[in-house]
Amino acid sequence: MINLFDTLTPGYRIEGPEFAVSRESIRAFCEASLDYNPLHLDDNYMQSNFGKTHFGGIIMHGMNIFGLLTRLLTDWAYPVNAVHRRLETRWLKPVKPGDVIRPHGMVKAKQVTAKSRWVTIDVEVRNQRDEKVATGEALVEFPVEAAP
Amino acid sequence: MKQEFETDFWKDAKSRMIWDDIVPGEPRPTIPYTLTLEAIQRYCRAVGDLHPLYFDEKYARQTIYGGLIAPPSIHALLMFACTPKDDWMRSPGTINAGQSWSYHEPARPGDTITLRARALDKFIKKERLFAIHDNVFFNQHGEVICAGRGWTIRPI
């Protein structure tokens, strides 16, 4: 196993696969997460205004996007026995059926602590118009005992 | 344990706390939930994550995890599975503004999971009603699976 932690430098990029959003994918996430909020089910309800926000149709679950970011991190961490420890996200734009979104990560900093080694990663999700729909930060641990 | 779930979130809308009723610091009632392999895999398929740690027992046994696990973000399911139908997280129109989660022990198929949850704070920003909820999920050994906070915009 390569000692990835030592070779990492700020700016290192991590790319995740595209995810095509459809009414079916949103419905599948309702069933998988038990989140049946009408935001994700009911186009008539979504014609109403939410304060100053007007969605105009059903939107993808924020937590489904959170799941795509999680996969970005675990697909990168598992093969090198690193551990995904933290993910913080904010949602910036609604994602709707027909959108194609993709998660990206970029190493921001490394930190060695008394007992372990850590990498902070800036993460974001962009849609097919290259608009940022979610942004956040992650922390991945590279345990010392797992190093070769 | 039979686990039934009401999928019509309007049905119990009247019994749920609105923003005005939420008391920061007050615990939310929660219910234990048995996480099945089927529920884990349904969640994984919905997010398009088919990693063998979630699907291939033989593979998983040879890793540092020693067996099948759930992906870290399984708390998306656990949040609804461990709360009763009158919980305010189910209020129609609840908008997720942000989340931050820390992960400790992975959740595993067969785990009986409990949730300790409370409202942490509430505030008004740009005419929007926000609540912050604070959640910790434990396994049957009392170990922390994950802990996190969510920022939601409450329906007016």
The closest of A39, A95, A46 to A66, measured between CA atoms, is A95
Flag whether pLDDT at B90 surpasses 70.
Answer: yes
Tell whether B34 lies on the interface with A, counting CB pairs under 8 A: no
Residue range(s) defining the domain that contains residue A52: 4-146
- CA-CA distance, B72 to A138, in Å (whole number)? 13
The tally of domains found in chain A comes to 1
Long-range CB contact pairs, B12-17, < 8 A, 24+: B12/B85, B12/B86, B12/B90, B13/B91, B13/B92, B15/B86, B16/B86, B16/B87, B16/B88, B16/B90, B16/B91, B17/B88
- CA-CA distance, A39 to B10, in Å (whole number)? 12
H-run or E-run covering A24: helix A23-33
Average pLDDT, chain B: 95
A129 backbone φψ class: left, alpha, beta (φ>0; ψ -120 to 50): alpha
Cα–Cα distance list, A112 to A63, A142, B89 (Å): 31, 9, 38
CB pairs below 8 Å between A and B: how many?
Answer: 127
Write the pLDDT tens digit of every residue in B127-148. Answer: 999 999 999 999 999 999 999 9
Nearest-by-CA chain A residue for B53: A78
B contacts of A50 (beta carbons < 8 Å): 93, 95, 153, 155
pLDDT of residue A1: 46
Ranges of chain A whose pLDDT falls below 50: 1, 148
The CA distance from B122 to the nearest CA of chain A, in Å, is 17
pLDDT of residue B1: 46
The CA distance from A92 to the nearest CA of chain B, in Å, is 8
Q: Which of B53, B93, B97 sits opposite A91 (nearest CB)?
A: B97
CATH of the domain at A75: 3.10.129.10
Nearest-by-CA chain B residue for A133: B97
Which residues touch A134 (CB under 8 Å, ≥6 apart)?
A: A62, A65, A66, A69, A89, A90, A91, A92, A124, A125
CB atoms within 10 A of CB B88: 21
Interface of B with A in 106-125 (CB under 8 A): none
Terminal-residue alpha carbon distance, chain B: 36
Write the pLDDT tens digit of every residue in A91-100. Answer: 999 999 999 9
Which range (B16-20, B30-34, B59-63, B117-121) has the least confidence?
B16-20
The CA distance from A15 to the nearest CA of chain B, in Å, is 15
Indicate the DSSP class of residue B36: P
Residue type, A82: A
CB atoms within 10 A of CB B136: 16
User: Is the alpha carbon torsion for A148, B107, B57, A87 positive or negative?
Assistant: negative
Cα–Cα distance list, A49 to A54, B89, B100, B156 (Å): 5, 20, 27, 11
Six-digit token string for A89:
């996200």
The CA distance from B102 to the nearest CA of chain A, in Å, is 4
- Alpha helices by DSSP H, chain B: 37-47, 52-55, 57-61, 75-81
Six-digit token string for A6:
């030592």
What ipTM was predicted for this assembly? Answer: 0.95
- Alpha helices by DSSP H, B7-133: 37-47, 52-55, 57-61, 75-81
The domains of chain B, with CATH numbers, are 23-35+72-154 (3.10.129.10)
Q: Which of B42, B93, B97 sits opposite A32 (nearest CB)?
A: B42
Which residues touch A27 (CB under 8 Å, ≥6 apart)?
A: A40, A41
The closest of A80, A64, A82 to A139, measured between CA atoms, is A82
Nearest-by-CA chain B residue for A63: B76
Half-sphere exposure of B119 (CA within 13 A, CB side): 19
